[in-house]
């Protein structure tokens, strides 16, 4: 990947800037589409906060540093000498270029898989919020208060190492919620917990309304 400082010294080489432009748009749409579908309970303002906590230069730079993206960058002599391969702004731009290239090469599915594999856990943490609860915690508290026991999880992985997916099953009170997928074990368990929590919450709310109706008729 060629940084513009390298292209200034090597005019025949194209820089990453067009790919950065595309990757920025792909990243924003993938994260927006994902959180809109996965968190139907969050209002617009909270969705925007979750997206902003992930779609930013600091988050991208951290991911790029973990992947050693800087080692693959072509930099101009001056930029290289000043430690450009470690600069957060350059790493974030390079990460956007990588996402743009992934979209061009593999399409939407490939780009979505890459974004969620790299940023999925950050999205989970952002959606829980400061002092907030994730879906596993919510299900655990519901199970403990209503049934006096905790849910159990099993997770299996599928697919090749470069595109591995995890499928989780949660069991509680003899019932199973299976087939929840994620790009990591943590994401899959959270997805399974969300399905179980949503189903149980709806059932319990319905049962309470029915009890209230019968009580009113009895009175």
| Per-residue model confidence (pLDDT) at position 161 | 75
Shared domain for 149 and 108, answered yes or no, is no
Residue 212 pLDDT: 55
State which residues form the domain around 98.
4-128
59 and 8 in one domain?
yes
93 known member of a binding site: yes
CATH for 201: 3.30.160.20
Whether residue 96 is annotated as binding a ligand: the answer is yes
In this prediction, residue 132 carries a pLDDT of 52
The strands making up 175-182's β-sheet, listed across from edge to edge, are: 152-158, 165-172, 175-182
Cα–Cα dist 178/167, whole Å? 8
pTM score of the predicted model: 0.63
Q: Can you tell me the distance from the alpha carbon of 76 to that of 31, in angstroms, rounded to the nearest whole number? A: 33
> Does residue 88 sit in the same domain as residue 145?
no
Number of domains in the chain: 2
Q: Are both 8 and 33 inside the same structural domain?
A: yes
Q: Which residues are catalytic?
A: 24, 96
The pLDDT, as a whole number, for residue 109 is 93
Say whether both 118 and 153 belong to one domain: no
Q: Can you give the pLDDT at residue 112?
A: 92
142 and 122 within one domain: no
Spans of the chain, pLDDT less than 70 = 1-11, 13-15, 74-86, 129-133, 206-219
């Amino acid at each position: 990947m060629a940084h513009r400082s390298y292209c200034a010294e090597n005019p025949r080489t194209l820089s990453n800037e067009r790919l950065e432009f595309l990757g920025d748009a792909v990243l924003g749409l993938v994260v927006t589409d994902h959180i809109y579908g996965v968190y139907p309970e969050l209002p617009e303002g909270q969705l925007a906060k979750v997206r902003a906590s992930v779609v930013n230069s600091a988050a991208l730079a951290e991911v790029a540093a973990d992947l050693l993206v800087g080692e693959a960058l072509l930099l101009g002599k001056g930029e290289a000498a000043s430690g450009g391969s470690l600069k957060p702004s350059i790493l974030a731009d390079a990460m956007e270029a990588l996402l743009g290239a992934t979209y061009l090469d593999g399409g939407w599915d490939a780009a979505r898989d890459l974004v969620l594999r790299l940023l999925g856990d950050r999205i989970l943490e952002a959606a829980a919020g400061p002092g907030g609860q994730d879906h596993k915690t919510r299900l655990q508290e519901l199970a403990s208060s209503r049934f006096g026991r905790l849910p159990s999880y099993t997770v299996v992985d599928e697919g090749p190492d470069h595109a591995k997916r995890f499928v989780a099953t949660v069991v509680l009170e003899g019932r199973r919620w299976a087939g929840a997928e994620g790009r990591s074990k943590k994401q899959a368990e959270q997805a399974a917990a969300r399905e179980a929590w949503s189903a149980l919450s709806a059932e319990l709310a319905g049962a309470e309304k029915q009890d209230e109706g019968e009580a009113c008729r009895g009175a």
